[in-house]
Structure 1
Amino acid sequence: EEGKLYFVRDPFGVKPLYYAKNGEKFAFASEARVLRVLGFGASLDERSLRQFLTLRYVPSPDTLWDGIKRLPPGHVLAYEIGSGEMRLSPYLKFDVDRFDGDIREAADAYRGVLADAVKRQLLSDVPVGILLSGGIDSALVAAMAKDAGAEPPCFTVGFGRYHPECELAEAEETARVLGLSFHPIRVGADELWEALEKVVAAVEEPLGTTSVLPMWYLVQRARQGVTVVLTGQGSDEPWGGYFRYQAPLLGRFAPWPGVWKGLGRFFSSWQGMPEALERGLRMLRERDPASRIVEACALFPAKDRIALLGDADDGGAKEAVSRWLALVAREKGLDEAERMMRVDARMNLADDLLLYGDKISMAFSLEARVPMLDLEVVRFVESLPRAFRVQLWRGKVVHKFMAQRYLPARIVHRKKKGFRVPFAEWSRGIWRKKVEDRLFSEGIHLRLLNKQALWRIWQEHLQQKPDRSRQVFTLLMLAVWWEQQFGGGNSESM
């Protein structure tokens, strides 16, 4: 349309797009640093800081820079050149035709759509590899690539087999079973700490996910052999692979928030209570649907935000969830777990996991492709009955059922480790002084956070009363980011 510019982001936010407007000045870029050079985002958006501490990332369209926005996935931004007016709207339909076959028919159909997606994403005139973890998702992508006639090399990063987080042994077994070449990348604590500044500069935004550090070395090594990689990212959300999707299923047995409040008080003295359980109990004591999703994900609950920032305001995290829930609600008949999964597949994925995956891979000119988020694949998965995806104590039901046609059961049903580093151990040991120096350097606590509250969190982490690993890592990333963006540090140190 004449006189208008249209900006469109892909359905699940595999690629980011930033934009900013100040008076008659309008700019857009795939990297926020470009907009900052043009004079946008000169200060912190303190409201978005509250969202970051609540969710460990800032949901689109907001960012931590005042005046810089990130286009949400599945949305189009219309900019009128003459008037400068902007209109943001979703372009995707969220309703799908429900699948009405049995579980075997579902597995057959899923096999077809995923195989087609893998074949499409293998198409390339440059070498293609696989970023292989120890889990089922990347293993299934690798198996289907092999079945399609490809022989992609597999790349895996680890920290030594004496660390329970290391997946080298599991990934090596998968590659051996499939007959694919295996390229392990071993990194130690010193190397990962050395990557911290580079990772924050490349990603541009602080993210409370420890996997950003090994991802740096994984991508760097993979780029030496290939130009394109396929990953297994993006299946946990539509398939119900996270523990938080169990909470609404458990809640059906006692749909009274008071029961869960009582359980929360009962367990409050348990200093070793797993964080996921704590979040689940907080979720179930809420009535409002958006508040329940926020609590299921909240890294710093209200009491911590009060201590760190002076009040419990989440900065709009609940509003962001509510916007997505309103879009998801256009599809009738979804239960609470399904709504959570749909929101996560469009908010959490885009603004956290996919964001760092794209930024780090692009730092090495490596193209990362995600077959699990092929539009036809997700449409099919979301057409399945919820029980075909997640049940009480079981996730990825049809996904795993189908995977057994390609992989041994011992690989399909391995215990999930997750892609993370031994931060809890290292931050109490060989990284302790480095982390403490970063957290309590001049700047972050004086300008953003209450120093006494920060010190209390740090001491609780050191004593494991309770374990504060994820919170401390998020605060560490925030401190590094703050120094790079506003404290005179080098945000171009890649």
Structure 2
Amino acid sequence: MCGITGIYAFNPVGRMHLVHLEEATKKLEKRGPDVHNTWFDEVVGLGHRRLSIIDTSSAGNQPMTDASNRYQIVFNGEIYNFLSLKKELTSLGHTFRSESDTEVLLYAYIQWGAKMLPRLNGFFALAIYDRDSRSLFVARDRYGIKPLLYYKDEDKLLFGSELKALLAFGVPKKLNLEALRTYFELTYIPAPLSILEGVQKLEAGHYLQVSDGAIQKQSYYKLPAGTSSPITHLDKAKLQLQDALEAAVNRRLVADVPLGAFLSGGIDSSIIVALASKHVQQLETFSIGFKDNSYFDETHFAELVAKKYGTNHHVFSLTNDDLLQGVDAAVDYLDEPFADSSALPVSILSQQTRQHVTVALSGDGADELFSGYNKHAAWIRMQSPGLQEHLASTLAPFWKVLPKSRNSPLSDTVRKLDRFVRGKNLSPQERYWFLASFTPQKQVDRLIRQKYKTNTDAFKSSIIDQIQSGSLAEVLALDVQMVLEGDMLRKVDSMSMANSLEVRVPFLDPEVVALAFSMDDSLKATSSARKIILREAFREILPKELYQRGKHGFEVPLLQWFRKELAKELDRLVFNDERLEAQGIFDIKEIARIRQQMYSVDPGDVHSLVWALYVFQRWYDRYFDH
């Protein structure tokens, strides 16, 4: 696990920027605190920060060269099948000087070129330079587990694991208007967009080939979203999933440093811990508890799993004050606005976990692959409405006027019913975007001043146009492409790397993903049940209590903070007319209306928008206004 950055200079002006390589590499220190190295010639510079996981000796350091000194590689991630690849490459005549997966990756490229990518089972962002042809190869893993951004102008190509590395090279600071609007709608910025114009995120499953000032972008992987002959037999699917996921977990146990697992008490992480415990005695497991929010505290269920499998279990019990005190560490690490507030507990969990292990397994990806969200059941009901759904629509005028918020079960139910009715009346394409969004596009358009508005819907169209039949498989494929990559994986990568912790995700093993998309939708969800196949496949190895409870997504107490602890901070950063006028981005009257709604008895989901504004203003102060 590491941080990478680099530059390809197309001309003498571009070569002048090679002097910034060292500074750019230093910006990635938390991603790789163990070793710091750079390499450059007259055309290309490569920087690497290492968090040593496999072959912790100096033989595994990067940038790494082959025996001929023709090729140089920087690589962030892990290749789990590197030993089998190494055996094949050895039979083809290659020799190795280290025990690292990095060297195997380098010789795999020398042997097969870009065709090596489908052979890799792992997660990665990488760059390989061929000195003879003066060509640069840059690639990202199938699902976007590891980030990679790049910037190109007439003089150079820059790339890096984080935007802060590119900023060290001096990329122009101009807001990307489409990304700005998308951020306020979704609370994150999906690939290929970034907050800065000219900077792009390399999409998952893609690579760049750079030579003589020209860049070619190619896709090497597409999600297998659906099949003409899906698996429909439950027992067959259960057996295949059991075998595939256990193999995926076992592959991710390879490490030369201490390893553990997150254990939330939910089905997903409990399955991972149960399978890992077959191969690791007294596995280290880690949970967060919430002292002030007993409804969301799942530590009891986590402890049942830990006891069943004899893990060495650690519980970090947090108060609301603990969460509040963690805001600065989480928000200030972000180099692009990102307003998923669940990043706060993930940040604290990563910090505490890193005190015990260097690698942690997680259950991320299961909700997107196997239909774990409320919106998936809602989608099914909207596509095939019954009596209850028609009744909800008939009573729409009541849901519209009643108070809606997440502060009480009743008002939250009204909020969900109102959202259901509004989504049901949309086309399948617009419905997907509606269910993925936190703030409607019309409200975002009111929020942003005219000179910062954009009329293009190119990104949104590229997403929703993928909805053709309206099947659940299409929805899940888009969730993997957009929500999982842009939100969930981004959150875990940022918060874990801020604490120099590697997180591995067995559910995103290529074999598990392919199997998931080969199953019929009916094995995943109905209008009243979610993750059917996942729950049934592992029912016998999990405590029965896990099946006797609902899914409780944790809610950070944002509204309470905004009205009390963070009120003065919001008035200074978000609701300050003088600041807003000088900045010129947001409509002052709309900001005032948002503040009024926040303090009303009917706040709705306004806390999400206020948090997005707060995070944006913190980012703007730190990165844009200097």
- With normalisation by structure 2, the TM-score equals 0.71
**Given the superposition, is the C-alpha separation of residues 444 and 171 from structure 1 closer, same or farther in structure 2, using an over 3 Å criterion?**
farther
Which moved further from structure 2: 450-459 or 355-364?
450-459
Give the superposed CA RMSD: 2.8
**Partner SS state of residue 72, structure 1:** coil
Q: 1:296 aligns with which of 397, 410, 435?
A: 435
Does 40-49 or 435-444 show the bigger shift?
435-444
**Distance change >3 Å, CA 359–CA 121, structure 1 → 2:** same
Partner of 2:598: 461
Q: Deviations over 1:5-57 (max 9, x none)?
A: 33221111110000001212211111111111111141221221101111111
Q: Counterpart of 1:122 in 2: which secondary structure?
A: coil
CA distance 1:197–1:120, change in 2 (3 Å): same
| 1:379 pairs with 2:514 | yes
1:308-327 aligned within 5 A: 308-309=447-448, 319-324=458-463
Which letter maps to 2:420?
G
TM-superposed CA distance for 1:448, in Å, is: 2.0
Q: Check 1:259–1:189 CA distance in 2 against 1; reply closer, same or farther (3 A cut).
A: closer
Asked if the contact 2:187–2:339 (Cα under 8 Å) also holds between the matched residues in 1, the reply is yes
How many Å separate the matches in 1 of 2:275 and 2:456? 38
Aligned-partner residue type, residue 451 of structure 1: I
Q: 2-side partners of 1:119 and 1:316: how far apart?
A: 49
Question: What are structure 1's unaligned runs of at least 5 residues?
Answer: 489-494
Spell out the pairing of 1:102-251 with structure 2 (5 A cutoff). 102-160=233-291, 162-251=293-382
Partner of 1:58: 189
By how many angstroms is 1:444 displaced? Answer: 5.2
CA contact (8 A) 2:370 2:516 kept: yes
- Residue type of the partner of 2:440? P
SS in 2 for 1:232: coil
Q: 2:425 aligns with which of 268, 285, 297?
A: 285
1:409 aligns with 2:544: yes
Q: Distance in 1 between matches of 2:453 and 2:205?
A: 24
Residues 290-327 of structure 1 show CA distances to partners (whole Å, capped at 9, x for unaligned) of 3221111121113312321258x996896435435666
Are positions 1:447 and 2:588 aligned together? no
5 Å-filtered alignment, 1:60-75, equals 60-75=191-206
1:91 to 221, 228, 241: 221
- Deviation larger for 205-214 or 109-118: 205-214
Structure 1 stretch displaced more, 403-412 or 65-74: 403-412
SS of the equivalent of 1:7 reads strand
Q: Supply the AA of the counterpart residue of 1:70.
A: K
1:470 and 2:618 correspond:
no
Higher RCO, Cα 8 Å, sep 6+: 1
- With over 3 angstroms needed to count, the CA separation of the structure-2 counterparts of 1:231 and 1:184, relative to structure 1, is same
Q: Deviations over 1:91-111 (max 9, x none)?
A: 336356544352122111111
Report the equivalent of 2:3.
Answer: none
Shift of 1:162: 4.3
Call closer, same or farther: CA 1:357–1:315 in 2, change over 3 Å: farther
The 1:391–1:473 alpha-carbon spacing in structure 2 relative to 1, beyond 3 Å, is: same
Partners in 2 of 1:365 and 1:212 — Cα distance?
16
Quote the offset at 1:235 in angstroms. Answer: 0.7
- Percent of paired sites with the same residue: 28
The amino acid across from 1:416 in the alignment is K
Tell me: CA distance 1:45–1:101, structure 2 relative to 1, closer, same or farther (3 Å): closer
For 2:391 and 2:273, the matched residues in 1 are separated by 45
The alpha-carbon distance between structure 1 residues 380 and 318, as it changes in their structure 2 partners (threshold 3 A), is: farther
Q: CA 1:74 to 1:261, structure 2 compared with 1: closer, same or farther past 3 Å?
A: farther
Instruction: Count residues in correspondence.
Output: 480
Question: CA separation in 1, counterparts of 2:315 and 2:391?
Answer: 48
Task: Note the C-alpha offset of 1:202.
Answer: 2.0
Distance 1:404 1:318, change over 3 A: farther
Equivalent of 1:481, from 602, 619, 624?
A: 619
- SS of equivalent residue, structure 2 residue 522: helix
**Is 1:24 the equivalent of 2:159?**
no
Name which one, 1 or 2, has greater alpha-carbon Rg: 2
* Distance across 2 between alignment mates of 1:90 and 1:283: 34
1:367, distance to aligned residue in structure 2 (A): 0.7
Asked if structure 1 preserves the Cα contact closer than 8 Å seen for 2:135 and 2:209, the reply is: yes
Deviation at 1:386, TM superposition (A): 0.1
Counterpart code for 2:224: F
1:346 corresponds, among 462, 481, 487, to 481
1:189–1:426 contact (8 Å) kept in structure 2: no
